[in-house]
Amino acid sequence: MMKLPISSKRVILLVVGMIGLLLVYLLQNDIADLGKNMAGKGFWAFATGRAIRFILNDVFALLIIFALFFERKYIIFAIYVQLAGMVLILFPYLILKYHMPGYNGPLISFLHRLVLNPLLLLLLIPAFWYQRQLPENK
């Protein structure tokens, strides 16, 4: 088996991450159906589908971050951000969205974007890039 140079590995990881994010978006209805098949009906079906999508989006965003920076410390920090997002954003979103389906105000709209898009982790990319540009990191 041919060993790929580091840059080729990074490009492959970047492409896999981007294609993964695209597939999660294109297959969002299938992911919701998977949640229904796994958990039955009601809240747990809703929560399972959204949680699967949240986790898949974040895993692919982690791949992109790793491909761009190729440093363990950035991935560990991004995983902590992902876990904090799960506790502080995903759980309140699931409860609000399921128990108040008629409410579609700004709070639920912002939470919806953070949960169903890998926005939180992708916002780390400019922060990591900026940190790398600081003089003490050169």
CA 34 to CA 40: how far, in whole Å? 10
Note the pLDDT tens digit of each residue in 66-102. 999 988 999 999 999 988 888 888 888 888 888 887 7
**Residue 27: helix, strand or coil by DSSP?**
coil
Question: Would you say the C-alpha torsion 15, 13, 69, 6 has a positive or negative sign?
Answer: negative
DSSP string for residues in 59-120: HHHHHHHHHHH--HHHHHHHHHHHHHHIIIIIHHHHHHHHH-TT---HHHHHHHHHHHSTHH
In the chain, domain spans:
8-137
User: Which residues lie closer than 8 Å to 73 by C-beta, 6 or more apart?
Assistant: none
Note the pLDDT tens digit of each residue in 22-66. 999 999 889 888 888 887 788 888 888 888 988 999 899 999 999
Q: How confident is the model at residue 138 (pLDDT cuts 50, 70, 90)?
A: low
User: Which residues lie closer than 8 Å to 24 by C-beta, 6 or more apart?
Assistant: 31, 53, 56, 57, 60
Taking 60 as the threshold, does the pLDDT of residue 3 lie above it? no
Taking 60 as the threshold, does the pLDDT of residue 114 lie above it? yes
Q: What are phi and psi of 103, to 5 degrees?
A: -80, 125
- Whether this prediction's pTM lies above 0.85 is answered by no
